Amino acid sequence: MLWIKAFHIVMVASWFAGLFYLPRIFVNLAMVSPESVAEFERLMLMARKLLRFTTLLAVPALGLGLVLWLYYGIGLAPGNGWMHAKLSLVVLAMAYHWHCAKVLRQFAAQQNKRSHVWYRWFNEAPVILLLLIVVLVVVKPF
């Protein structure tokens, strides 16, 4: 079980690293002037590759988490409300990941309507999610 936990932690950290950086690329994309086609294309290439890589990391992170939860029973005992809260936050992280893919498609279609400032705030969501998830798992407040 410790090997599974270790790999789960590494995959989650790697997944979130991608979720931290992808919206930062959105900030830069939102700041690109319309005549800077080469810069736009370079940032789009980076964003597409990062989204693909981040998605490939999310799959084993979620799979290993399910193994820990359902096979090893972590968080299944009565009185483990922290696990329900954590799972809710994981669903939010998955929705954030999905929304990043949607935003990237909007940039690709030249349909972005948001400013670089909005993306700077959007970039803070995965930091807050990861902080809350780690606190729930380590502290188990309820």
Count other C-beta atoms under 10 Å from residue 66's C-beta. Answer: 11
Q: Between 125-139 and 81-108, two packed helices, what is the crossing angle to 10 degrees?
A: 160
Residues 130 and 134: their CA atoms lie apart, in Å, by: 6
Residues 7 and 128: their CA atoms lie apart, in Å, by: 22
Which amino acid type is present at position 135?
Answer: V
pTM of model > 0.85:
yes
Residues 100 and 96: their CA atoms lie apart, in Å, by: 6
pLDDT tens-digit profile, the chain (142 residues): 999 999 999 999 999 999 999 999 999 999 999 999 999 999 999 999 999 999 999 999 999 999 999 998 988 888 899 999 999 999 999 999 999 999 999 999 999 999 999 999 999 999 999 999 999 999 999 9
